A and B are shown apart, each in its own frame.
Chain A
Amino acid sequence: MLNSPGESLKERESFEKIQSYFKKSKEKKTSGFLNKILGNNNLGDIIFERLTLLFAVLVFSLVIFMGWEMYSHSVLSIKQFGLNFLVNSTWDPAITQVFGALPMIFGTIVSSLIGLIIAVPLGLSVAVFLSELAPAWLEKPLSFLTELLAGIPSVIYGLWGIFVLVPWLRDVVEPFLQNEFPNSPFFQGAPYGYGMLAAGLILSIMVLPIISSISRDILKSVPDAQREAAYALGATRWEVTKIVLSNARSGLLGAIMLGFGRAIGETMAVTMVIGNRAGISASLFDPSYTMASVLANEFTEATTDLYLNALIELALVLFIITILINMLAHLLVWSTERKWK
């Protein structure tokens, strides 16, 4: 219908030429910021764009600058200990001035893993409940409450840990575990309350809202067509949920890793309940130490340059670990959410 019989071939050709010209000019306008600047003579616009660009570059270089700043202030310790810093288990600022971070790395990873073992099943269940099962009137207040949990300052978690959680562990939980499993290597030693178990528990409470709220967003980004298809085949609600979960699994893994990254860097609440003693022990009742809590406890007490350098190197190690975990986690979350866009 468009090409009426009266239209000659020549006319059609010229029409297409004009069309392609418009197409090209449109592409030119939207491609790249160089064109934008060249095609725009307003000085204010150029200044404004450059100014915002400057701030973006500032934020971009901030991350790199932070790493470099810590590296340049820990050169003494890096030169003296090299890679031994990561595998040596002696931390002796008082006499020999030998610094090895192994007990802190152990404490950091184990306490975070305990936190995750508790928080992951709970957090994922909450996410499933909020995105798949809960009626709308229940979903909003529950989401609000879990996000409120994420907004409580970590020092208040620590305060609560010292005066509520630790006495409860000391008087109720730890004696009970020792009675039930007298031979287990995990429940040896005097039940003080302070220690690895308390740190793991408080981390699980703190990490849970992060895992549940990110997982909920990911589950919600799964298109409804997948659910409807499963329902149409006669699946029950739980079976539909299983399909949704398996489709979103890489994003959920990202959510868990974000929780892990948060647990590794958590400082105050852990410092207040973990007991702060360097040592590697299988028992969950024993006090331990994390990289973050060493920094919180000893930074202002560092008397020699080497000691201070070792502490800053510890911060650098913590920085690199959390950066790597976060990069991987964000890539996973992004790729999942983008899959359905």
Chain B
Amino acid sequence: MEVKNKTISFNYFRRKATNILMLFVSFSAAVITIIPLILIFYYTIAQGIAHLNIDFFTKLPTPVGESGGGMVNAIVGTLILIAIGGGIGIPVGIMTGTYLSEFGKNKFGALVRFLTDVLSGVPSIVVGVVAYTLVVIPMKHFSALAGGVALAILMIPTITRTTEEMIKLVPHSYREAGLALGIPKWKTTVMIVLKTAWKGIATGILLGLSRAAGETAPLLFTALGNRFWSTNVFQPIASLTVYIYEYSTAPFKDWNDQAWTAALVLILLISLLSLIFRIITRSKYKT
């Protein structure tokens, strides 16, 4: 009897020890995951802030060897690119999301849902190649439009799936109330359902836009980049991300420094975008 008790207590002790060990391991994994995040933010802020000045937001890039200058063309370029991308991607995403949630309870809906998920896994550089064959080859030169098309394709899955999920959250009684008043279904969907889900959809749009603002690969051979001031959508246009890539791989110290600043400005721009969006969606629907 005593021997049996001893093995039980030993076994119990072993299980307890494994338990504590594994708890510790998974906790330290969580800590390890956070370390790169802290390091990346630390370096971007510390290195970026050192060369952050008014010139960066007001002046054009200088030629090699000449210090100073800024990236005002790239900041405006990034905004134009995501505006084109959003202009195409947001309506497509919202309409497809509406179809999936309101009419998509059939096999075709399931297929579209599945393909949207698959589309979100397609590498952004492949999307860039498609935009190249689709827009750049027929136009015979690089353009902001081509970059915007690539970004639109990248935004569609995010916006579609968020719209669908958010519309699904709207209680069924809202639709029934609308229909009971004799409002046609399409008006109920647009005026009541979409309006109720708007806040959530806006979050999805924002997510899509901020991801697009951080994309580089699909712009390399669509929007290309431009060292001069340009807002023409049919001409090559500069963007912050492409500048970060070019300036960080160049062998000039002051270009490398500016790459860090551009990275900081990009992060600030994305944060600012989300702030503006939050304010717009909040002031419209005070509860």
Contact = CB atoms under 8 A, between A and B. Distances in A.
B115 A153 contact: no
Given A148-B37, A160-B40, A315-B125, A59 B115 contact: yes
Given A145-B34, A322-B121, A323-B118, 4 more contacts: A48-B190, A56-B96, A155-B216, A162-B249
Interface in B26-54: 26-27, 29-30, 32-34, 36-37, 39-40, 43-44, 47
B221 interface: yes
A25 B94 CA distance: 32
A23 to B, nearest CB: 19
Interface stretch (A80-88, A97-105, A179-187, A324-332): A324-332
Contact of B40 (A33, A60, A152, A330): A152
A49 B118 CA distance: 24
A134 B118 CA distance: 32
Contacts of B189: 48
A60 B115 contact: yes
Interface size class of A (residues with CB under 8 A): 35 or more
22 contacts: A45-B186, A55-B91, A59-B92, A59-B115, A66-B126, A70-B130, A125-B25, A152-B267, A154-B214, A155-B244, A158-B245, A158-B248, A238-B19, A265-B126, A268-B217, A295-B129, A299-B132, A319-B123, A319-B126, A323-B122, A330-B117, A330-B118
A62 B112 CA distance: 10
Interface string A311-339: 11001001100110111011000000000
Contact of B15 (A236, A311, A315): A236
Interface string A287-307: 000001001100110000000
A261 interface: yes
A54 B134 CA distance: 21
A236 B249 contact: no
Main secondary structure of the interface of A (DSSP, over half): helix
B160 interface: yes
Interface string A250-277: 0000000010011011111000100000
Contact of A272 (B186, B190, B245): B245
A29 interface: no
B245 A129 contact: no
Interface of B: 15-16, 18-19, 22-23, 25-27, 29-30, 32-34, 36-37, 39-40, 43-44, 47, 91-92, 95-96, 98-100, 102-104, 106, 108-109, 111-112, 114-119, 121-130, 132-134, 137, 153, 156, 160, 184-187, 189-190, 210-211, 213-217, 220-221, 224, 241, 244-245, 248-249, 256, 259-260, 263, 266-267, 270
Contact of A312 (B32, B133, B241): B133
Main secondary structure of the interface of B (DSSP, over half): helix
B29 to A, nearest CB: 3
Given A266-B123, A272-B245, A292-B123, A153 B216 contact: yes
Given A55-B92, A56-B96, A56-B100, A268 B210 contact: no
A52 B18 contact: no
Contact of B29 (A122, A205, A261): A122
Interface centre among A58, A70, A125 (most CB of B within 10 A): A125
A123 B34 CA distance: 11
A261 B124 CA distance: 12
Nearest to A268: B216
Contacts of B115: 59-60, 63
